[in-house]
Amino acid sequence: MDSAASERLFSYGTLQDAAVQLATFGRRLDGLPDELPGYRLEQLAIRDAQVVATSGAAHHPIAIRSDDAADRVRGMVFRLTPQELAQADAYEVDDYRRVAVTLASGLQAWMYVRAE
């Protein structure tokens, strides 16, 4: 792993896909499974042709706060450089916004949720 990888990103969707990682970061990411309580997933129609071409999917999952601790989003925690985090921001469409969260493991990470 790159020694400059100082950011954590919790991914529950297409950023877990090897092809998306290669297209977005130029490398495959190593991650650890984790989950986030109090959120649920819905499907979002993606209108950005480049993102659809990269992911191969016209609908992506999107996390929404539910405030029900029984709801959980499962995903992977990846270590990224600050530059790679900016590349992830560029990949995500405007329907998503990046927020800081505390995962079930206690780790602090960035995560993309529905922009309100």
pLDDT digits (tens, 9 = 90+) for 93-108: 677 899 999 999 999 9
The whole-number pLDDT of residue 52 equals 63
Q: How many structural domains is the chain composed of?
A: 1
Q: What is the mean pLDDT of the chain?
A: 87
Show the beta-strand stretches assigned E in the chain: 7-11, 31-37, 39-45, 59-65, 72-80, 96-102, 108-114
Domain with residue 70: its CATH number is 3.10.490.10
Q: Is residue 2 part of a domain?
A: no
Show the domain range for 78.
Answer: 7-114
Q: Is 78 helix (H, G, I), strand (E, B) or coil?
A: strand
pLDDT digits (tens, 9 = 90+) for 6-31: 999 999 988 999 999 999 999 999 99
Q: Is residue 24 part of a domain?
A: yes
